[in-house]
């Protein structure tokens, strides 16, 4: 008997018009690891919430079809009873921790089941040991890192003793280190084979290693594929990609390389497989040995001699030595930083940072937690006050600028935080309140059109959809005419689809001339979109250069606790394919422009 049977499941949330999912069917047997794939809007997370009855018991929704867990009908069995069969791990670790210590947290579930104290403790210890948190049992969950808190949430689900674990985008809120931790923990749990797992995850590069089977839903929320992970992904990758389904980076790369004439059959799914497959075949005719470098127009210089000191501080650039702002930095859209040291309390968060950001650049600021990334971005945008003479935008000292919003726009992580009025139109008008009315109307209409918000102009900003809120927050930052846009972790905590939508928007803005400065943990985002990367560590600029150059320095990347992008791992130092060495982004592969 299968552990879980989903049959023709369709769910329509209150107030929605469409069912998503709309006809999903699959089964999960004990011990199986099933990856649920589907484009945005196919209802993956909704489906997850039906598996332990939260829909329809806690969240009102119209449900047809059936979910059967271990012989129990999920729609008519109380959530508390289903909880003994289905453990659940959500996206935001903070929203699923309820007690004051790590041990209390794991014990919470078994206590609810009225187990005797000795068994509560036994289960809690087992679960904490499995995720490697037993030594931290007396700590407050707040003392754990993001990855640690998510591992704790996994332990709390394990302690319920449920044979099925449902895990919904567990790494979306984590930094690279946390992502690694959570995947290592999940892989460890899967290895023992005592739990079945239903996983929703966009980071397939790491998930694909321990997944048995994939179930794919189409945009309408119907199951269109169900089978062994390797078979489905290898044989139907192109079709899935068309659907908007996430694929491993290695598979995406291979699809592109095939277009350039590489055979790559069977389709590689992991960086290691891609590497092995490439080493097993020759360079196709027509692909130049210098393809990658020629195609990007970026000649990759060695970074090593510069890695120790900020690029702009090299003596060959004499204007840097001066404490005055460089000439040529007066163009709007240019940001200049000179010897910026910033303290928070008594600790220095930025130490003698100097940089020049040129108009129209797409710059990513990366680095480990506490490196000073957000502080730098906030100083650039005037969110925190930098000392006189250290930061200029468009050639004017930030401290002298009165109408900052027309020089540089700042977008916070959560768009809702920035909304100050009651309609979308007022929200845009707020940034233009110093201008005459006839001029503002034209500008507002223009922004509404550019950001696809024309028919939402009179709606309260909080009633917009998630994607619309994000677009409005970018619109408000730019409406006053700012040529520079600064964004602090704008994709953090969002699913992949929404992140991609935002990045598409930023790329368009950048193409039209807006300077983009972004702080992020998402290395794939950085290599795909940023033309330049600034690597910070302990408040200092460790590297500053073209993105491919910075990521070509493996030692530097490893030392700062960042992860090399998956393509780098697959392609560096290929013996038979020097033409691919140094490629870090998909769009630089041969075949990408075919």
Partner 1 sequence: MSASAAQPASTHFLHGLNPLAKLLAPLPAMLLLIFVRDLATPLAFLVLAYAVLLVGARLTVRTAVMLLLVVPALIVIMTVGFSLWTDTAGIAHDVVVLRIGGWTLYGAAVLIGLATGLRLAAIVALALIAGLTTTGQDLARSLVQQLRVPYRVGYTAIAAFRFVPRFRRELEVIRQAHRVRGQARGPLAALGRGFGYMVPLLAGAIRHAERVALAMDARAFGAYPDRTERHEVPVRARDTVFVVLLLAASAALFAVFWPWGL
Site for partner 1 in 52-111 (CB under 8 A): 52, 54, 57-59, 78-81, 83-84, 87-88, 90, 92, 94-101, 104, 107-111
In the complex with partner 1, which residue's Cβ is closer, 283 or 407?
A: 407
Is residue 27 classed exposed, middle or buried when 0-12, 13-18 and 19+ CB atoms within 10 A define those classes?
middle
Complex with partner 1: residue 316 or 400, whichever CB lies closer: 400
- The secondary structure of the chain in percent helix, strand, coil, rounded to multiples of 5, reads 40, 20, 40
Closest of 115, 113, 112, 152 to residue 130, by C-alpha: 152
Closest approach of partner 1 to the CB of residue 99, in Å: 6
Q: How far apart are CA 375 and CA 324, in angstroms?
A: 22
Sequential DSSP letters for 51-69? HTTHHHHTS-EEEEEEEEE
As a whole number of angstroms, the distance between CA 440 and CA 450 comes to 15
Binding mask 148-177 for partner 1 (x = CB under 8 A): --------xx--x-----------------
Question: Alpha helix (H) ranges present in 208-290?
Answer: 229-243, 249-259, 271-279
Instruction: Indicate the residue among 296 and 378 with the shorter CB distance to partner 1.
Output: 378
Separation of CA 135 from chain center: 30
Q: 9 near 23, Cβ under 8 Å?
A: yes
Rule CB under 8 A: choose which of 147, 367, 431, 475 binds partner 1: 431
Contact characters 113-152, partner 1, x per CB under 8 A: xxxxx--xx------------------x-x----------
Of 381 and 526, the one with the shorter C-beta distance to partner 1 is 381
| Residue 440 contacts partner 1 per CB under 8 A | no
The residue among 81 and 259 lying less far from partner 1, judged by its C-beta, is 81
- State which of positions 445-464 bind partner 1 (CB under 8 A): 462
Please list every residue from 347 through 376 that binds partner 1, using CB under 8 A: none
Between CA 308 and CA 310 the distance in angstroms is 7
Site for partner 1 in 386-405 (CB under 8 A): 403-405
How many amino acids of this chain bind partner 1 (CB under 8 A)?
63
> Using CB under 8 A, which of 414, 452, 465, 554 touches partner 1?
414
List the one residue from 292, 381, 526, 552 that touches partner 1 (CB under 8 A): 381
CB of 487 to partner 1, least distance (A): 12
Instruction: Say how many Å lie between the first and final Cα of the chain, rounded.
Output: 49
Can you tell me which residue has the tokens 């726009």? Answer: 409
CB 499 within 8 A of CB 487: no
Q: Identify which of residues 120 and 250 has a Cβ nearer to partner 1 in the complex.
A: 120
For the beta carbon of residue 573, count every other beta carbon within 10 angstroms: 10
Minimum Å gap between C-beta 204 and partner 1 is 25
CA distances from 218 to 94, 243, 289, 450 (A): 31, 7, 39, 29
Please, which of residues 465-524 interact with partner 1 by CB under 8 A?
Answer: 476
* Residue 485: CB minimum distance to partner 1, A: 12
User: Is 419 a binder of partner 1 (CB under 8 A)?
Assistant: yes
- CA-to-CA distance for 364 and 489, rounded, in angstroms? 10
State CA 187 to chain mean position distance.
Answer: 21
- Report the 10 Å Cβ neighbour count for 1: 9
By CB under 8 A, tell whether 344 contacts partner 1.
no
Per-residue binder mask for partner 1 (CB under 8 A), 5-44, x = binder: ----------------------------------------
Contact set with partner 1 (CB under 8 A): 49, 52, 54, 57-59, 78-81, 83-84, 87-88, 90, 92, 94-101, 104, 107-117, 120-121, 140, 142, 156-157, 160, 378, 381-383, 403-405, 410, 412-414, 416-420, 430-431, 462, 476
């Amino acid at each position: 008997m299968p552990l879980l049977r989903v049959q023709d499941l369709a769910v329509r949330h209150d107030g929605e018009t469409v069912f998503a999912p709309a006809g999903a069917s699959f089964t999960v047997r004990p011990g199986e690891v099933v990856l649920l794939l589907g484009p945005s809007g196919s209802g993956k997370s909704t489906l997850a919430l039906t598996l332990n009855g939260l829909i329809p018991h806690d969240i009102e929704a119209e449900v047809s079809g059936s979910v059967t867990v271990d012989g129990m009908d999920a729609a008519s069995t109380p959530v508390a009873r289903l909880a003994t069969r289905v453990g659940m791990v959500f996206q935001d670790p903070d929203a699923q921790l309820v007690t004051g210590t790590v041990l209390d947290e794991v014990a919470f579930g078994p206590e609810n089941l009225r187990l005797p104290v000795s068994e509560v403790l036994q289960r809690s210890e087992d679960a904490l040991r499995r995720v490697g948190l037993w030594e931290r049992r007396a700590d407050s969950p707040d003392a754990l890192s993001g990855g640690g808190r998510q591992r704790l949430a996994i332990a709390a689900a394990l302690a319920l003793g449920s044979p099925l674990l449902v895990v919904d985008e567990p790494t979306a809120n984590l930094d690279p280190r946390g992502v690694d931790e959570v995947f290592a923990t999940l892989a460890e749990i899967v290895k023992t084979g005592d739990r079945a797992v239903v996983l929703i995850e966009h980071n397939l590069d790491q998930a694909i290693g321990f997944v048995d089977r994939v179930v794919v839903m189409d945009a309408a929320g119907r199951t269109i594929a169900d089978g062994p992970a390797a078979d489905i992904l290898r044989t139907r990758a192109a079709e899935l990609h068309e659907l908007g389904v996430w694929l491993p980076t290695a598979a995406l790369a291979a699809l592109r390389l095939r277009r350039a004439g590489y055979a790559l059959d069977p389709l590689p799914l992991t960086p290691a497989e891609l590497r092995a497959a490439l080493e097993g075949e020759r360079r196709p005719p027509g692909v130049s040995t210098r393809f990658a470098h020629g195609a990007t127009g970026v000649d990759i210089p060695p970074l090593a001699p510069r890695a120790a000191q900020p690029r702009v501080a090299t003596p060959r650039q004499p204007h840097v030595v001066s404490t005055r702002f460089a000439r040529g930095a007066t163009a709007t859209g240019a940001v200049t930083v000179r010897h910026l040291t910033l303290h928070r309390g008594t600790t220095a968060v930025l130490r003698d940072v100097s940089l020049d950001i040129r108009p129209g650049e797409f710059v990513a600021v990366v680095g480990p937690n506490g490196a000073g990334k957000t502080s730098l971005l906030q100083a650039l945008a005037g969110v925190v006050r930098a000392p006189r003479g250290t930061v200029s935008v468009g050639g004017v000292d930030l401290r002298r600028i009165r109408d900052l919003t027309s020089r540089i726009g700042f977008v916070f992580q959560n768009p809702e935080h920035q909304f100050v009025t009651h309609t979308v139109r007022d929200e845009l008008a707020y940034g233009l309140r110093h201008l005459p009315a006839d001029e503002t109307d034209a500008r507002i209409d223009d922004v509404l059109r550019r950001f696809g918000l024309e028919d939402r102009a009179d709606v309260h900003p909080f009633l917009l959809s998630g994607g619309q809120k994000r677009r409005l927050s970018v619109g408000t930052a730019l409406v006053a005419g700012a040529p520079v846009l600064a964004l602090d972790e704008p994709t953090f905590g969002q699913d992949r689809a929404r992140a991609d939508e935002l990045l598409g928007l930023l790329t368009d803005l950048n193409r039209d001339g807006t300077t983009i400065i972004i702080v992020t943990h998402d290395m794939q985002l950085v290599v795909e979109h940023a033309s330049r990367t600034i690597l910070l560590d302990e408040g200092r600029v460790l590297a500053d250069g073209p993105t491919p150059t910075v990521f070509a320095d493996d030692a530097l990347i490893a030392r700062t606790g960042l992860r090399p992008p998956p393509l780098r791992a697959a392609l560096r130092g290929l013996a038979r394919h020097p033409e691919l060495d140094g490629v870090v982004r998909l769009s630089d592969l041969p075949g990408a422009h075919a």
